[in-house]
Structure 1
Amino acid sequence: MPLFNQSIRRKIVGIALGLIVLMLVTAILSMVMSSQVGVLLDELTNRYIPAYGDLARANIRSLERSVALRRMVMMKMQESSDEEAYAARLKEFEEADRRIEEETSGARKLINAIIDDTRTPSDNAALARIDIRIETAVSELRRAMTEDHAKLLKQIDAKQMADARGTLEHLDALRDRFNQNIDGIRTDMLKQVFASTSTVIGHQHQAIIISGIVTVLAAVVGFVFALMVSSGITRPVRLLLAGTREVEAGHFDKAINVSTQDEIGELAAAFNRMIEQLRQNERIRETFGRYIDPKVVQGLIDRPEVAIEGQRRVMTIMFSDMSGFTSMSEGMTPRGLVKVMNHYFTVMSAPIRNHRGVIDKYIGDAIMAYWGPPFIEEDEPALLAGIAAIDMADQVPALQKQLPDLLGIRAMPAPCDLRIGIATGEVLTGSIGSELMMSFTVMGDAVNLASRLEAVNKVYGTRILIAQATADAIGSQLELREIDRLTVAGQSVPQAIFEVMSKAHGLSVPQESLRAHYAEGLAAYRAQRFDNARTAFNAALESVPGDGPSRTMLARIAQFEANRPAADWDGAWRMDSK
């Protein structure tokens, strides 16, 4: 069976084996050539250079021999001859003479070893001549020096100093001639060292060039072979990658053409089946995403134990309601009412989603939403809920203009507006319901308080009211106004409630004046200085005519003037109804 129709495993193994064979050939060739260069380097290091060194030391030993000889003569020329010192000088002389023989013999032995080694190219004729010249120079030196040395000793013993000086000069001349011969031999030997060095360098360059050529050829052959084999792999892989990117982008409508019978072909077929399943899942997700917030769905997928076990978390809860809904719905057909409510929920849900809130449910014309872990960080819920409420309130004017057009009427039978209550506190999160149906929701006092605050807006004529804990969490990040201290139905401890007026630094000059006068009036009201409070609240109404909280507080002052509060009154107002 042709290689290209094999499995991916066999294709990859074939490519790997081919590359390994090429690498082995290149490595063996490099090792052979490197070993040849190693032999040449060994000969240069252990034979040529040491032989040259031996000849150089032979010159030095010759000078040492001459110095020892002169010291012997000087010992004999003294008036009182020191035989012990003379014997020591004689020993030095003989040692120097012996070392000359050793150095020249060592050089000749190394030269003959080079000549006998057939593994390396060398100028054997030139080396043989050098060997003969060394032998001749040493023999001549030995023969002449032996005769003159004996003569010199006899002359010294006979006190023939003039004749001794002549003989000594003749010995110096013999030494100089020997050194000249050795210098000439060293010069020729140095040429052989240079020649051997050039041979080593040449072989090194040759080895590098040949290894480079073989490596390039191996790389080219391996690359061509790998390209031919891998092209059958990479093309379907690229198609698979392109399909994966389409899926990553959320496009599930493009299948991959299966063109091979190997593992990639099987993978492409499985990928097509996966796309079909994802397409079905996406349709399910889109369908149920209209009924369950996508954040909840994803959160339950990531952490299913949260739905089963439930958790206690600090969250911010929002309740939103459309004022005037009851009177407005009485004159509408069911179709018109559904159309209005769908548009209303669409407009009001967008700010909640945009600010990462989770819509828990729609209750009639009301919206329940919450912010908190694990969907957002713990320090963000209150601020995000407040900003979402402001954005929802900003949609009211446009919504009021759109509703008549939706219904095909000139004007709405009753004005519509928005009321929002927000509270922060510990709640229980989890799946609540029966064995037949479950709902992931939140429960707790904060939920009840948010619902009560939404209704309290009717009392104060406000749109957005928040509890004390929410105001503390927001701080100065939004513009707030304390409205009252209130005990809602179901609670016994009063707490301050605040109106969200705008985003940070978003108040106009009249609104700033309103807030300042209202705070002044609220302080006087709690201190039961009702005349001062009335004056401050009226000033607030002058800043912003029609301000609901100011009107409410003026009405209460009128009640208290007719019926004074108890002596232990704490300045809080109690709501007995929901």
Structure 2
Amino acid sequence: MPLFNQSIRRKIVGIALGLIVLMLVTSVLSMVMSSQVGILLDELTNRYIPAYSHLARANIRSLERALALRQMVMSRMGSPSDEEAYAARLRDFQALDRKFEEEAETARKLINAIIDDPRTSSDNAALARLDVRIETAVAELRRNLDEGNAKLLKQVDANEMAGARGTLEQLDVLRDQFNRQVDAIRADMLTQVFFSTSQVIRRQHQAIVISGVVTLLAAVVGFAFALLVSGGITRPVRLLLAGAREVEAGRFDKSITVSTQDEIGELAAAFNRMIEQLRHNERIRETFGRYIDPKVVQGLIDRPEVAIDGQRRVMTIMFSDMSGFTSMSEGMTPRGLVKVMNHYFTVMSAPIRNNRGVIDKYIGDAIMSYWGPPFVEEDEQALLAGQSAIDMADQVPALQKQLPDLLGIRAMPVPCDLRIGIATGEVLTGSIGSELMMSFTVMGDAVNLASRLEAANKVYGTRILISQATAEAIGSGLELREVDRLAVVGQSVPQPVFEVMGRAGALTASQEGLRAHYAQALAAYRACRFTEARTAFNAALESVPGDGPSQAMLARIAQFETAPPAADWDGAWRMDSK
């Protein structure tokens, strides 16, 4: 509808103008009705009631005139006659006669004014009859009284008092007849007054009813109009609100219908474009989330300057690798190898993400991941990495059972296991690469150390080795044991290396015994008391047979027996290969 294609300002102005027009119509109707009632009321107060009053006064003037005539006769009948009083009464009689004529004539004029006024619906026929009756009654009275008065005055002048009395009685009879006629006329006039009054009351009531109906109709029409227009405004607003709540909940699959062409319609269209852009960004996030960790994608979207500028942060790096992968892959088809690796990465990636880690990349069968600000707090990153490593190690038995089923064979040609290295230190984070291709990653000594510790597991027969900084950050959060002082390739200064044995308080008595004997043996080993060290390492093996570090240290003691270390040996082992 064209109405809903207008701007909000025009809609509001339209509602206001519509209401104003309805108010004007109501006011005009009220004024017209009030004017009609005013006309009727004016006719009642200024014509009907005055006409009735003049008829009543004409009746009174007639009585006063007859009284003046009687007094005039009585003043002449006295002995001696009072000529002065007679002259005064005569003047009164003549004045009252004129007043009587004036009252009757004024009543007739008012009645004719009512008849001549086309604005009122009076009973003109009845009023015309009243006018004729007044005229006839006055004319007859005038004719009869003129004759009687002349006769009476002659009799009085002739001093015929007996005849004067008889004439006076005849005049009284004429006056009484006139009074009765006037009373009848007044009664009919009063009926017309009542009729006019009823007309005023009826018109007034009609005006009230019509004004009320028109006002109610205007209110209903105005409310319906306002409701219709406001509904056209609020409906798309509610749709926008519902759409905003969908976006707030992370659902970008619903667009809103653009039903108007006003500002809200433009806002709805812009909202739909925003939804489409968010949906596009979400697809990008989901797509890149398969290649880049979702936390990194979100971080780059929220703070792109981090990728450009780079930052130095203390972070914890973890490298994990599948042992025996090279031998296992030689006998697999490409399709089977991809199937195994995808399942392996799926199983091993879950603990990392569950512990809020960021997967940096997959390198062959290795996984590089890290923890640190802004993804996790600095004081909890090492513990989360250690817990993630334990969770990954817990998946190994199930994985060893699942791999033959994935390949459709009874048993794996070579056993597979997991090696994990974790190191904590300052690294550089940012986008590293060329102008053609870049990767958001971390670089630094801690990265190299974690990679070397992962490889060092082969030397010590362990699964999880961590650096000294990582062990200090974990503290008592996990069960650790120091394995050796080690200088990996690329480092000249050796540092203690620790094995993660399990979660805090989860060690068995055998493992507790292993850790105690191993610590005793390691102290003797570093003091070059190799016999004592051998005895303690064997005691550790008795607690947990097959313990890799104990076996590796016993083999090293055997080498030292044939080729003792230098006199300034610091008890550290230096790796000469990666």
Q: For the superposition of Structure 1 and Structure 2, which TM-score range results when normalised by the shorter chain?
A: 0.5 to 0.7
Aligned to 1:478: 478
Aligned to 1:264: 264
In structure 2, C-alpha distance between the alignment counterparts of 1:259 and 1:547, rounded to whole Å: 74
Residue 514 in structure 1 maps to residue 514 in structure 2 = yes
Aligned letter for 1:268? A
RMSD across aligned C-alpha pairs, in angstroms? 2.7
Aligned to 2:574: 574
Aligned letter for 2:339? K
Structure 1, residues 14-34: CA drift from partner, whole Å, max 9, x if none? 7799999xxxxxxxxxxxxxx
| Counterpart contact for 2:7–2:263, Cα < 8 Å | yes
Aligned to 1:322: 322
- Residue 478 to residue 16, structure 1, CA distance change in 2 (3 Å): farther
Aligned letter for 2:447? V
**TM-aligned CA deviation for residue 520 of structure 1:** 1.0
Aligned to 2:538: 538
Aligned to 2:523: 523
Task: Provide the secondary structure at the position in 2 that maps to 1:415.
Answer: coil
TM-score by length of 1: 0.62
Residue 449 in structure 1 maps to residue 449 in structure 2 = yes
Aligned letter for 2:575? M
State which drifts further: 320-329 or 275-284: 275-284
Task: Provide the secondary structure at the position in 2 that maps to 1:476.
Answer: helix
Aligned to 1:288: 288
- Residue 268 to residue 413, structure 1, CA distance change in 2 (3 Å): same
- Residue 472 to residue 223, structure 1, CA distance change in 2 (3 Å): farther
**TM-aligned CA deviation for residue 282 of structure 1:** 2.5
**TM-aligned CA deviation for residue 511 of structure 1:** 1.0
Structure 1, residues 493-530: CA drift from partner, whole Å, max 9, x if none? 11000001111111112111111111111111111222
In structure 2, C-alpha distance between the alignment counterparts of 1:462 and 1:304, rounded to whole Å: 40
**TM-aligned CA deviation for residue 550 of structure 1:** 0.8
- Residue 376 to residue 224, structure 1, CA distance change in 2 (3 Å): farther
Task: Provide the secondary structure at the position in 2 that maps to 1:489.
Answer: coil
**TM-aligned CA deviation for residue 257 of structure 1:** 2.1
Aligned to 1:297: 297
Aligned to 1:252: 252
Aligned letter for 2:354? N
Aligned to 2:395: 395
| Counterpart contact for 2:4–2:261, Cα < 8 Å | no
State which drifts further: 239-248 or 420-429: 239-248
Residue 375 in structure 1 maps to residue 375 in structure 2 = yes
Aligned letter for 2:297? V
**TM-aligned CA deviation for residue 2 of structure 1:** 8.4
Residue 498 in structure 1 maps to residue 498 in structure 2 = yes
In structure 2, C-alpha distance between the alignment counterparts of 1:319 and 1:399, rounded to whole Å: 19
| Counterpart contact for 2:4–2:260, Cα < 8 Å | no
Aligned to 1:340: 340
Task: Provide the secondary structure at the position in 2 that maps to 1:256.
Answer: coil
| Counterpart contact for 2:483–2:499, Cα < 8 Å | yes
**TM-aligned CA deviation for residue 253 of structure 1:** 2.8
Unaligned residue ranges in structure 2 (runs of 5+): 21-218
In structure 2, C-alpha distance between the alignment counterparts of 1:275 and 1:354, rounded to whole Å: 30
- Residue 572 to residue 464, structure 1, CA distance change in 2 (3 Å): same
How many pairs are equivalent? 383
- Residue 559 to residue 16, structure 1, CA distance change in 2 (3 Å): farther
Aligned to 1:410: 410
Task: Provide the secondary structure at the position in 2 that maps to 1:312.
Answer: strand
Structure 1, residues 247-280: CA drift from partner, whole Å, max 9, x if none? 3333333222222222222222333333333333
Aligned to 2:487: 487
Task: Provide the secondary structure at the position in 1 that maps to 2:449.
Answer: helix
Structure 1, residues 282-327: CA drift from partner, whole Å, max 9, x if none? 2232222111112112212222222222221111111110000010
Task: Provide the secondary structure at the position in 2 that maps to 1:425.
Answer: strand
Structure 1, residues 153-209: CA drift from partner, whole Å, max 9, x if none? xxxxxxxxxxxxxxxxxxxxxxxxxxxxxxxxxxxxxxxxxxxxxxxxxxxxxxxxx
Structure 1, residues 426-468: CA drift from partner, whole Å, max 9, x if none? 1111111111111111111111111100000000000000000
Task: Provide the secondary structure at the position in 2 that maps to 1:469.
Answer: helix
TM-score by length of 2: 0.62
Aligned letter for 1:432? I
In structure 2, C-alpha distance between the alignment counterparts of 1:367 and 1:15, rounded to whole Å: 68
- Residue 12 to residue 542, structure 1, CA distance change in 2 (3 Å): farther
Aligned letter for 2:455? A
Aligned to 2:464: 464
| Counterpart contact for 2:400–2:416, Cα < 8 Å | yes
- Residue 562 to residue 19, structure 1, CA distance change in 2 (3 Å): farther
- Residue 223 to residue 475, structure 1, CA distance change in 2 (3 Å): farther
In structure 2, C-alpha distance between the alignment counterparts of 1:396 and 1:16, rounded to whole Å: 76
Structure 1, residues 220-265: CA drift from partner, whole Å, max 9, x if none? 9999886554322222221222222223333333222222222222
| Counterpart contact for 2:421–2:451, Cα < 8 Å | yes
Residue 239 in structure 1 maps to residue 239 in structure 2 = yes
In structure 1, C-alpha distance between the alignment counterparts of 2:504 and 2:462, rounded to whole Å: 19
Aligned letter for 1:347? V
Task: Provide the secondary structure at the position in 1 that maps to 2:476.
Answer: coil
In structure 2, C-alpha distance between the alignment counterparts of 1:222 and 1:470, rounded to whole Å: 76
Residue pairs, 1:425-436, within 5 angstroms: 425-436=425-436
Aligned to 2:106: none
